[in-house]
Amino acid sequence: MVKRYVPAMVKDEILIKKRREQMVKAAVKLFQEKGFHRTTTREIAKAAGFSIGTLYEYIESKEDVLYLVCDSIHDGVKTRFTEMLDRNLPGRKRIEQLVRSLIHVMDELQDEVLIMYQESKALSKESLTYVLNRDRSMTEGIRSVLIECREHGEIELSDLEAQLLAENIMTKGYMWTFRRWALRKHFTLEQYTDLQVEEIMRSLKTPK
């Protein structure tokens, strides 16, 4: 399964979903302001609108909140990213669109993505595996598009090159968030997107 099972004391699944959404929303805001370690469980509970006792009816440990946050952010990124993709675009245009969509989503969810990036190391090994797997599956999605393009004879690249390009594209998305302190000084979102797209397109090899 793609998601870790987080045990709850409460049985009602609908309530669990509702309460966890409240807590994630509150936690995202707090983690953004103060980071995971400086945020207390009491603060999360209060910001979520219930008591500390109730918080622990829906999770087992503070780390669970972080996991749920990361999971929820991944859902957000994945959903928006997928929505933006048009599978019917022709060849190279699909790659371009892929990059533009990714950067766009990363920009929209920059605060959330930053949390995930900076705090995920505080996760237990097990939770981290789940989070990394979701990242990997996204990279895999990008890679499969590249492979498809190759199959259609649009571009020429080895399996290894496809893998690296997928990683590079992912990183171009992420870096807009975690190097924003540097990038924002020089580029608007549009400039950044255009230039990165151009760079990738130039680097693509055309089959003879």
Check binding of 42 to DNA (CB under 7 A). Answer: yes
Q: 7 — phi, psi (to 5°)? A: -70, 150
Check binding of 171 to a copy of itself (CB under 8 A). Answer: yes
Check binding of 119 to DNA (CB under 7 A). Answer: no
Which of 89, 156, 164, 184 touches a copy of itself by CB under 8 A? Answer: 164
Q: Determine the angle formed by the axes of helices 110-119 and 13-38, rounding to 10 degrees.
A: 70
| Least separation in angstroms between CB 145 and a copy of itself | 17
Q: Rule CB under 7 A: which of 13-32 touch DNA?
A: 15, 19
Check binding of 7 to DNA (CB under 7 A). Answer: no
Rounded Cα–Cα distance for residues 112 and 138 (Å): 17
Helix (H) or strand (E) holding 79, with range, is helix 62-84
1 exposure class (CB count in 10 Å sphere: 0-12, 13-18, 19+):
exposed
Rounded Cα–Cα distance for residues 59 and 93 (Å): 44
Check binding of 50 to DNA (CB under 7 A). Answer: yes
Binding region for a copy of itself (CB under 8 A): 35, 37, 118, 121-122, 132, 135-136, 139, 160-161, 163-165, 167-168, 171-172, 175, 179, 181-183, 186-187, 191-192, 195-196, 199-200, 202-203, 205
